[in-house]
Amino acid sequence: MASLTLRRLTKKFGEMVAVDAMDLAIPNGEFLTLLGPSGCGKSTALACIAGLERPTSGEIVFDDSAVTDLEPHQRNVAMVFQDYALYPHMTVRENMSFGLRQQRLQAADITNQVSAAADMLGLANLLERRPAELSGGQRQRVALGRAVVRNPAVFLMDEPLSNLDAGLRIKTRTEIKKVQRELGVTSVFVTHDQEEAMVLSDRIAVMRDGRLQQIGPPMDVYRQPDNLFVAAFVGSPAMNFLDATLEADGDQMICRFAGQSVRLPQRAARGEITFRADGRTRVVMGVRPNDMAIGGNDDLIMTGKAFLVEPIGPISYVDIQISDTVIKATCEPDLAPAIDAAVSLSFKPERTLFFDRETEARI
């Protein structure tokens, strides 16, 4: 096990900057997820950590030693990919022990380490089977087992769940979290799936166009996104955004949007707001659907017209037309409004976020 530090890690392919001056310090034992849309540089960053890509500039450090110029096999990393790439002619046991045999470990040690990993992953009674005789989820667990059995300093996973169907994805991600906790191994996990990132991680690092946007514990990133991109990318269904203006009024501020207004304490904003002299500070207001309820009893109220109800069981989502904008809110399934009915939505000042319209930074 080791801590992992990236210093100004940069990888270019020709003119294309895939990873742009990435700084990251991952303490020993942490589960960190690189989260971002397809093409933002997650796999490239991971491949640099693994030694499969040579960075254009910057440094990769395990504990106190730079590994930037070491070959993959000199780094003691284990990596699991989306396609599990098991050896088809080998049994589960042979697949899992392959790396250990290459390291010329004692036969008894190999047996013990494979048994321990197989127990942890629920593979103990599948050890003599070949990959063709396993389900997709079992194969991915073998791939995980083959990786962790080597006791790596750093465990790297690149979208390891994407090939599994929805139910199995949820089961296998629980396995991954359990195994990582039991081993306490420093892990970097790559995904474009924000829910997967939320569920698994100690901290999430959100990336966009090769650049880190924000690093923090899942609920911090969810509740206090640093900018519009992070706010829109994390959370499902996505956060509602409304064009609004803010105006100071004593120690309160008046927020106007779509022909309506609400009054909030100024501390609802992140810091001091510099209100413009003309009194019309233009912002983007953000509220999550799950923080906005029909028939709720929070302080702030917005009104609109229901036009679509989506029951998902525990709650229903309702699309609401407000002037020329549509937003999503929640309601108790039994209180779902009729289509076209006028509705009132209540929401909390502390769950209302404001973003600068030019810089997109949270205010």
Q: Round to whole Å and give the CA distance between 125 and 210.
A: 43
Interface positions, 35-74, toward ligand ADP (CB under 6 A): 36, 38-44
Residue 18 interacts with which of ligand ADP, Mg ion, none, CB < 5 to 8 Å by class: ligand ADP
Q: How far is the CB of 202 from Mg ion (least distance, A)?
A: 21
Q: Does 122 bind ligand ADP (CB under 6 A)?
A: no
CB-based burial of residue 89 (10 Å sphere; 0-12 exposed, 13-18 middle, 19+ buried)?
exposed
| Smallest distance from ligand ADP to CB 6, Å | 14
Distance, in Å, from the CA atom of 217 to the CA atom of 31, rounded to the nearest integer, reads 10
Minimum CB distance to ligand ADP smaller for 19 or for 363 = 19
- What is the amino acid identity at position 77? V
H or E stretch at 319: strand 316-322
Helix axes 92-102, 136-148, angle to 10 degrees: 20
Residue 136 in the binding site for ligand ADP (CB under 6 A): no
Q: Which residues in 109-191 belong to E strands, given as ranges?
A: 154-158, 186-191
Total binding residues toward ligand ADP, as defined by CB under 6 A = 11
Closer to ligand ADP by Cβ: residue 55 or 286: 55
Q: Determine if 18 is a binding residue for ligand ADP (CB under 6 A).
A: yes
Binding site for Mg ion (CB under 5 A): 43
Site string for ligand ADP, 73-92 (x = CB under 6 A): --------------------
Rg (CA), the chain: 25
Q: Yes or no: say if 189 and 157 are a contact pair by the CB < 8 Å rule.
A: yes
Question: Residue 163 contacts by C-beta under 8 Å, 6 or more apart in sequence?
Answer: 82, 83, 84, 136, 140
If contact means CB under 5 to 8 A according to the sort of partner, which of Mg ion, ligand ADP, none does residue 113 touch? none
Checking DSSP bridges between strand 154-158 and strand 77-80, what pairing results, if any? Answer: parallel
- How is residue 352 written in tokens? 């209302």
- Residue 24 C-beta: closest distance to ligand ADP, Å: 15
Q: Does 179 bind ligand ADP (CB under 6 A)?
A: no
**Residue 282 contacts residue 319 (beta carbons within 8 Å):** no
Could you tell me the smallest distance in angstroms from the CB atom of residue 181 to Mg ion?
Answer: 25
Q: Under DSSP, is residue 66 helix (H, G, I), strand (E, B) or coil?
A: strand
- Select 92 or 190, whichever has its Cβ closest to ligand ADP: 190
Nearer of residues 40 and 121 to ligand ADP, judged by Cβ = 40
**Binding region for ligand ADP (CB under 6 A) out of 11-19, 132-140, 244-252, 327-335:** 11-19
| Amino acid sitting at position 133 | E
**d(Cα 190, Cα 82) in Å, to the nearest integer?**
10
Q: Which is nearer to ligand ADP, 38 or 125 (CB)?
A: 38
Q: Which is nearer to Mg ion, 39 or 279 (CB)?
A: 39
Q: Is 333 in the site for ligand ADP (CB under 6 A)?
A: no
Element (H, E) at 43: helix 42-50
Q: Does 26 bind ligand ADP (CB under 6 A)?
A: no
Tokens of 224: 């206090």
Distance between start and end Cα atoms, the chain: 39
Cβ at position 233, least distance to Mg ion in Å: 16
213 interacts with ligand ADP by CB under 6 A: no
> What are the φ/ψ torsions at residue 71 (nearest 5 degrees)?
-70, 155
**Cβ closest to Mg ion, residue 180 vs residue 191:** 191
Q: Which stretch binds ligand ADP (CB under 6 A): 13-21, 62-70, 106-114, 196-204?
A: 13-21
State which residue, 8 or 181, has the beta carbon closest to ligand ADP: 8
Q: Which residues bind ligand ADP (CB under 6 A)?
A: 13, 16, 18, 36, 38-44
